[in-house]
Structures are given as structure tokens and as C-alpha cells.
Structure 1
């Protein structure tokens, strides 16, 4: 009887590792490959503190997000503690950001960046990119209609192959460094750890974790763990496995980027750095292999994101919604949503990877602070639920500050805002102190109304 009870509340070591690798595979996409090397190149001799900050944002926050969602149920339930309308708007914004507005176009742009060195001499890059993106998204859309078989196949092949490739690229860079780190470039010449933390926003993994948590929890329940404490423990164990794998990969890619400081000081994205490193050490074969792996990995991620976003919008606003009031956009079926997202992403991807990454900064600057405070409160949801006014007070204050700052950065970067006078505002964390004050006010208001 005791043995059966233990089996129902705890996974075996092998099962825990399998769940951790599954979670790693869900997170690790194109952005995770291209960002660490560029960050380290720009940070130069300050790459170590910058990488430490990046690891906190790129690993610590997403794992906390997974746990927070598992504790409360779903992302909609987590955000719903603020207000139902806020929940709908915020979760929809997350799906748009990890979908057609940023992450989906980035898959095509990243894959194409890896193909540029293989283009015939004299071919116009703009024409080649347009043709590639049309073919890429047409294939992704068709496969997203029935993604299960292909996604399973790509997951078994591209994941292990990609890890082997990264080991080869990093190993060759360690054995034969391409160059040496240079003096830090702006903004890493000031508070590099904080700038590394802010760079970690662009992985978008915290936002993704708010949608992945439920999936991982359901997988663990399917393995026999059903009690809340056991579920939280196993999610945490899976998070440790994921964190270790992500940390090793990020540190390796950062090493490659740092040693390219004297070789490509003006590089603007990590895809070019990794291509140059593979080509330098393995010749044309390295370029071909890198391009093929990125193409498969990006296609796999693109299929999953189109499917994920199409399903959410069909269930929330379209034909699969159970709420008649949500049919303002019509009873649009899943296939139509998927086609619309593929077409929009195709058009956006032709602006290029650099433009997409630049556009992502203000959008993620608006969403990330809100997500961070929601995750922190979700981790402490018992205490926060006992003082329910904390949820709208903290989230509302942070939302106002982060959205105002993001709009300023996108429209009028030189404009001064009153929030610029807040402590830590000069390093992008001006919302921290107001969030703490709002929590105190929310607690006091809750007690007065009790």
C-alpha cells in the first residue's frame, strides 16, 4: 500500500528527466539560440555578469512562471485574479506576442539568416527572402493543420541533433577561440548584469511559460501524480532539469559570442555569429549543417506556434468558443485563424531579423514587468488571495508604468516621463518600487474592507 501511494505522488528519476527534457524542448527555439551570443559579444569583458543577469531572466523567471501557473490552474485564472477583462486582454496579448507579432515571424527570419551565406552570388537578398518566407509559411500552415506526426518526428530528430551541433560549435570555439572579448559596448558598459537581465526578456520564455505550465502539469498527472504537493514538487524537479540544460547551452553560446568580439565587433544578431563560427571551424559543411538545423528547428517551432495561437483564438473568439458573446469576430474556424496568422507573419518576417528584434524591445518592455509581478504573486497566491486587493493594485500600477514606458520607447524615445525620476528607472526597473508600495496599499485596503 505504501509503495502504491509513493508511486502516485512521485515520479521516478527517469520520468522526471523525461519531463524536464520535454519542457526544455518546448522552450528552446530560435530566440534562445541567437540571443546569448550577441549579448556576450556586446558585453565583451563584462560578459560574465551580463550572462548571470540573462540566466535569471531567461531561466529563473520562466521556471517560476511554470510553477505559478501550475499552482493556480491556467494563465487565464492567474490573470483573472486582477479582473476578468484584464485576463482576456493580457492573455490575448501574450498569445499575439509569442505568435504573429514576434515569435512566429522570427522563426522565418532566423532560418533565412542562416541561409544567406549559401545564396548564389549576385542573387538579390530581398527577393530571396520574400520567396523563402512564402514557401516557409505555406509549408508551416499546411503542416499546422495536422501537426502531430511531423512535430513528433522533428522533436526526436532536431532536438538531439541541435544539441550535438551546439556542442560542436562551442567545443571548437573553446579549443580554438576565434578572437578575444573587447571593451563592453552600450548598454553593457553600465550595470551589465541588469542589462543582461533585460536582454533575457527577448527570449519571451516567461510569456511562453504562462501557456506551457498547464501542459506540463497535465503530462505529470498522466504519469500518476495527482495531488497538489506532488504536482508542484515534480514540476519543480522538471524545472531543475530544464534549467541545467538551458544554463549549459546559454553559457556555451555566450562564450562563442564573447570570443567573437574582435572578429565581428559590429554584429547585430546572434545568427550571423553562430554561422561565422561554424564556417570558420568546419568550412562550408559547417554552414550547411547550421542552416539545415536552424531551418528544421524554426519550422518545428513555427508549426507549434501557429497551432497554439490558432487554437486559442478559435476557442476564445471563434467557432470553438462556448461563449456567444465572444463571437463578435465571427464564428471563424481554426483553419482560418491559422491561415491569417501565417500570412501576417509572412509579411512581417520580410522586415528582417534585426527589425523584428528592435520592435520586440518596447513590446516586451510592456508585457514582462506585468508578467513578473503576476508570477511572483502567483507563487505566493495563498497570501495574496487573503488580501485580494493586492492583485489589481500591483498589476495596475505596474501596467501603467510599463505600458507608458513602452509607448515612449516605440514612438518618441527622447521624451521624458515623470516615471523617469523613479529609483532604478535608469536601468529599466523603475516599476519595482511602485509595485512594492502598491502591494502595501492593496493589503491595507483589503484589511479595511474585511
Structure 2
């Protein structure tokens, strides 16, 4: 592994992560957080940058895919939970959302809105190109890491530098949701990027790229993954802070419908008509690379898991389903994806964190199960709440736990569940030891 390889794979991973949610949510956070921008963006970066790299590193630890990680709980859990993750970040939510953002921010500002027919025609061309590139997964590192990512970074740098020097309006007071606990609000909003669960999917791409370069020993894979992750993390953190700061500075320019509208207004203010073209290039490259990475990851998972499925057939199926869902429209996709993400994220975080302490508790499935069972009550509540489904008795029971109001009430129960699982495992081992001793004597 050369230094060039580290940066090439790191750039590839950056491009795979940096897609639709990464573009639209930081500016929205900035305009809402106002003077609370810095703690809010720090919380966002923790889930939007830190956790995705942890997810990739967790896969590197097992040198396999996310199913192997989930199987530490139970083989069936590993299969079902991993399938849900891939479907969520793939054809049901992640890929269609990226295609819609590419259309709304990359095409509409330049050509105007053409209604549903324009979206239909755009997605036909978009997904045809995605499928073409995805059919050769072995070349994904070179195509994205060496060519597309540098072009993407140059365009983002131009927009970010201009915003730092030309936007000098004072920061506004934060909105209500960012007044009391901006760090935790930013932390939970980082869920919407989908990157932490995407890290579990992209991890196998990084591991495969390392093995293709002759890195096969597990310790070396993990060490190189951390270096690659550092390259990716620095890039993502700088970009999130830059476009989030742009949003915070644009608060005095009027009201906006969302992150896409904020970025479009900022690009227009900074560069005029050229800004729409520059933003179009950024969005097209960011969303395209993410869609390719997600298509490859999903297709590899399902074709490897179900041996009767050919990779090319799965890739075609993923793009077709993504195309159909994409034509529902961005707002519709976001509305039904948020509850699912609020349910999945706490479980994925606990699973990833436990993987780093796997040796400490000797890989006991009781620890994994205890932590995830306790976490599931809170993640289910979060998902139902995001879907506007509430049950007062459940809410009053769960609200006694620390950080519940901040959306992180699952942390203490996860620790308690892991501890109970550990004690149960120790008791089971001691019982077996005592029984074996008696049998010998």
C-alpha cells in the first residue's frame, strides 16, 4: 500500500459518503442553529463523520460484510438487519433521494421545473449511467477516487471559499429546537445523512480494495482502514462546516424551503448565473458517486448472500426499483424514510460500538443481545414518534431515562443491557465450569 493508494481509496470513500443528505442538511442546520452553530455542527459531525468511519472500521475488524457483524447477535438477526440496512440506504431511500436531489439542485436551477415528466426523463438517463458504471465494481476505486472526487472537491472548495469571504452578515438567534441543547440536536440530525449505516455497507468496498492491493492480514487491514478513514473524515468535516456556515450566514437573506433552496440561493448570490452551473456540477458529482457506491454495495451483498442471484441482475433490479421510487418525489421519500432511520440508527450505533469491545467480553452473544434488546424499545419509540404515532404510557415510562428529551435516551439502557448480558454470560460460564468440575471429581 502506497500513500497514493491511501489517498485514492480515501477520496473514493469521501465521494461515496458525500451525497444527497450531506448537501441538504448542513445548510439547513446552519440557518436554524444561528449563534448556536458551532455546538450544533460538532454534534452533526460526530454522527455524520465519526460514526460512518467507525462503521467502516467495524467492518475492517471482522474483514467481512455487515452480515458477519450482525451475526454476532444471531445469524438470523445478521441477515435480516443487514438486509434492512441495504434496502434503506439503497433502492428504498438512499439512492432515490440522491437522484432527486441531483435533479432539484443540479437541473432545475438551470433548466427550470419541467414537472413529473422532466423528472421521469432525467431519472431514466441518470440511472442508466449509474447502472453502466456499477456493472464494473472492480474499477470503482479508480473511476471515483482518481477522477470524480478531485473534481467534486474543487467545486466545493470554490463555493466554500467564496462564502467565507463574501458572506459577512451576523449570525441570527437560534430557532427553538437549537436553543436548549444544540449539540444533541445536531447529533440526532446527523442520522438523516444515512452515513453511519452506509459505513457498514461501504466497509466491504474498502476491505476489498485493500485486498486487491495485497493487504490481507486482519491487523493490517484495520490499520490501513483507519488511515483511509482519516482522509475521508477530514474532507467531510471541512465540507460540512463550510456549507453549514454558509447556511448560518444566509439567514438574513429571507426564508428558504430547505437545504437545497439555501444552497441554490447561496450559489446564486456568490457567483450569479455561474453559481447555478457550479452547484449543478457539485450536486451531480456528489449524488452520482453515492448512487454508484450504494448500487455496488447492495448488489454485492445480495448476490453474495443469495448465491442464485447474479451480480449484474441484482444491480439492474436495484436501479429499476430506485428509478420507480425516485419518481415519487423528494419530499415524499424524505417523509417516509425519517421514521425508519430513527429506528435503525441507535441499533446500528450500539452494534458498531460493541464490535470494538468484542475481545473484552469474549464475543458473548448475550452482551450483544442485551444491549440491542434494551435499545430497541427506544429506537422503536423514536421511529413511531417520527411517524407521528405516539402512545402516552410508553412515553411517560421511557422519559425517566437520561437524555430522553434530546433523543438519546437509548444510551443508558444499552449500557445496562450490555452489562446484564455480560453478567448472565459469566454466570452461565461459571455454572458450566462447576458442572464440569463435579463430573471430573
* TM exceeding 0.5: yes
Task: Confirm or deny that 1:441 pairs with 2:420.
Answer: yes
Quick one: distance in 1 between partners of 2:9 and 2:132?
Answer: 29
2:103 to 112, 117, 141: 112
Instruction: Tell me whether 1:286 sits opposite 2:286 in the alignment.
Output: no
Structure 1's 237 and 278: CA in aligned 2 closer, same or farther, altered over 3 A? same
- Could you tell me how far 1:401 is from its partner in structure 2? 2.7
SS of the residue aligned with 1:381? coil
- 1:254 lines up with 2:254 in the alignment: no
What is the alpha-carbon distance in structure 2 between the residues aligned to residue 314 and residue 392 of structure 1? Answer: 28
- Give the equivalent residue in structure 2 for 1:43: 33
1:390 to 343, 355, 367: 367
The range that moved more, 47-56 or 259-268, is 259-268
1:384 and 1:391 in contact (8 A); partners too? no
2:384 aligns with one of 381, 384, 407: 407
How many pairs align? 425
| Unaligned segments of structure 1, at least 5 residues | 1-10, 321-332
**Counterpart for residue 326 of structure 1:** none
Offset from partner CA, 1:157-209 (integer Å, 9 cap, x none): 33112211111111111111064422212422231100111111112111121
Q: 1:127 to 1:182 in 2, by over 3 A?
A: farther
Provide the residue aligned with 1:368 in structure 2: 345
Structure 2 spans left out of the alignment, 5+ residues:
430-441
CA separation in 1, counterparts of 2:137 and 2:363? Answer: 43
- How many angstroms apart in 1 are the aligned matches of 2:116 and 2:218? 53
Query: Measured at CA, do residues 15 and 112 of structure 1 come closer, stay the same or move farther in structure 2, by a change above 3 Å?
Result: closer
What is aligned with 1:325?
Answer: none
Structure-2 residue corresponding to 1:229: 219
Give how far 1:429 is off.
0.8
Q: Does the 8 Å CA contact 2:99/2:326 hold for their aligned counterparts?
A: yes
Report the CA distance between 1:61 and its aligned residue: 1.1
Pairing partner for 1:80 from 42, 48, 71: 71
Greater displacement, 405-414 / 72-81: 405-414
Q: Is the 8 A contact 1:64 1:375 kept in 2?
A: yes
Give 1:440 shift: 1.5
Aligned to 1:348: 325
Normalised by the length of structure 1, the TM-score is: 0.86
Alignment partner of 2:405 out of 426, 434, 450:
426
- 2:7 and 2:40 map into 1 onto residues whose CA distance is 29
TM-score by length of 2: 0.88
Aligned to 2:84: 93
Please tell me whether residue 275 in structure 1 is matched to residue 264 in structure 2. Answer: yes
CA distance in 2, matches of 1:24, 1:166: 13
CA pair 186-113 structure 1, distance change in 2 beyond 3 A: farther
CA contact (8 A) 1:41 1:265 kept: no
How much does 1:315 deviate? 3.0
Residue 314 of structure 2 corresponds to 337
Once the two structures are TM-superposed, the CA of residue 29 in structure 1 deviates from its matched residue by: 2.2
Alignment partners' CA distance in 2, 1:315 and 1:232 = 22
Describe the superposition over 1:424-448 as per-residue Cα deviations: whole angstroms up to 9, x where unpaired.
1111111111111111111110011
Q: Per-residue deviation at 1:336?
A: 4.2
